[in-house]
A = this chain, B = another copy of it.
Amino acid sequence: MSWNKVAVVGAGLIKFGELFEQSYEQMAAGAFEAALANVDKGLDRRSIDAAIVATQRGTLWGQEGIGGNTVPSALGLSGIPCTRVENACPTGSDAFRIAAMVVASGVHDVVLVVGVEKMRDKSAQEGLLARAASGHPLYNRGETAPVLFAPFATRHMHEFGTTPEMLASVAVKNHHNGCLDPYAHFQNEITVDQVLASAPVCRPLRLLDCCPQTDGAAAVILTTAARAHEFTDKPVYVAGFGVATDHPYLHEKSTFVGLPATTAAAERAYAMAGVGPGNMDMAEVHDCFTITEILDIEDLGFVDKGKGGPASIEGETALDGRIPVNPSGGLLAKGHPIGATGVAQLTECWWQLREEAGERQVAIRQGYALQHNVGGRGSGVAVVNILTRNRT
């Protein structure tokens, strides 16, 4: 028996990419209009009771970090209650979870979640310099994201025989899927050989093992399960969700072949939804690096620990595989505009469950989809949301 108190009645996003020509607020407005346009029976924007803005790096990249303040006016919603939620890479997915609880609380009936992130207005160098200048505890010591994930790849290879080709197969699959997603940043096929020949970033991770820096925005509209049919005959329900934290420093890690926050978050979400990994028709998971998707599919229970590499290279996670993973192209091809990422993944799940995903549509058999992000210092936080088209 799933939670199912809250439904998603609209979702949409803007084309991800290098969006120098759009402001932060314009990106948010574009996503909001896309979500509104996807509400089957229409939804007057004056029906929106409250909003949550998901932005992670509002300050680092030159905004004030007060998107909760500036976004409503740009959306024609000035006056409404609006809050910014931040939770590292799961910022967007956690904002969705918070919004679902806001709706379930009975305080606000129709709640908008807008995930929006400007990643490209500053060069990577400027961003890093600004962070080092402000005393950032990791970046001023060179501890960038690839440096934090590479040891997991090394250890996974050591313990389970995972190969560079297996890692590469994740990037090849997700770039293929991205070619079928009009919203993806990258829409080009790549080969295993190209991945293996790309520049090393932090061994064993190479350039094409890493997600790009991408601007983007996505939005979803939530309401109570009771009111969902005012807006659509095809609502998608929030079956359950889970969040878990973990010790934030690498030296405190209990394992280097898995991310315990993911496992704990998934257990909570499955329990709340009354289902297990075998009930999922597809999943959008956090593939910031190829190794991360391999860890994810193990930690989420889709394959046994250590089997993520073979499962990937053998096509189990392909669009027509046993458990399709990242049909949207994932972070690797669609991009990772942090606050928008989780919201865009949820939009993909919404489309897939409604069987509106076009060429990248997967088979919907049991009616459940899973969305996942992991991030923060030492991958110390993970969020899992489970959606369903089943009413019960």
Chain B positions within 8 Å of A375 at CB level: 69
- Tell me which of B68, B121, B380 contacts A87 (CB under 8 A): B68
Nearest Cβ on chain B to A22's Cβ, whole angstroms: 16
Chain B positions within 8 Å of A80 at CB level: 244-245
Chain B positions within 8 Å of A134 at CB level: 59-62, 122, 126, 130
Closest chain B residue to A103 by CB distance? B105
Nearest Cβ on chain B to A75's Cβ, whole angstroms: 10
| Residue A198 CB within 8 A of the other chain | no
Nearest Cβ on chain B to A175's Cβ, whole angstroms: 29
Within 8 A of B (CB), among A52-68: 56-66, 68
For the complex formed by this chain, how many copies does it contain in all? 2
Contact A244 B86, CB 8 Å, known A57-B65, A134-B60, A137-B62? no
Contact A68 B88 (CB under 8 A): yes
Contact A138 B64 (CB under 8 A): yes
Contact B377 A66 (CB under 8 A): yes
Range class of the A interface residue count: 35 or more
Task: State the CA gap A133–B125 with chains docked (Å).
Answer: 12
| Residue A1 CB within 8 A of the other chain | no
Contact B102 A69 (CB under 8 A): no
| Residue A258 CB within 8 A of the other chain | no
| Residue A70 CB within 8 A of the other chain | yes
Contact B376 A73 (CB under 8 A): no
Q: CB-CB contacts of A226-265 with B at 8 A, as 1s and 0s?
A: 0000000000000000111111100010000000000010
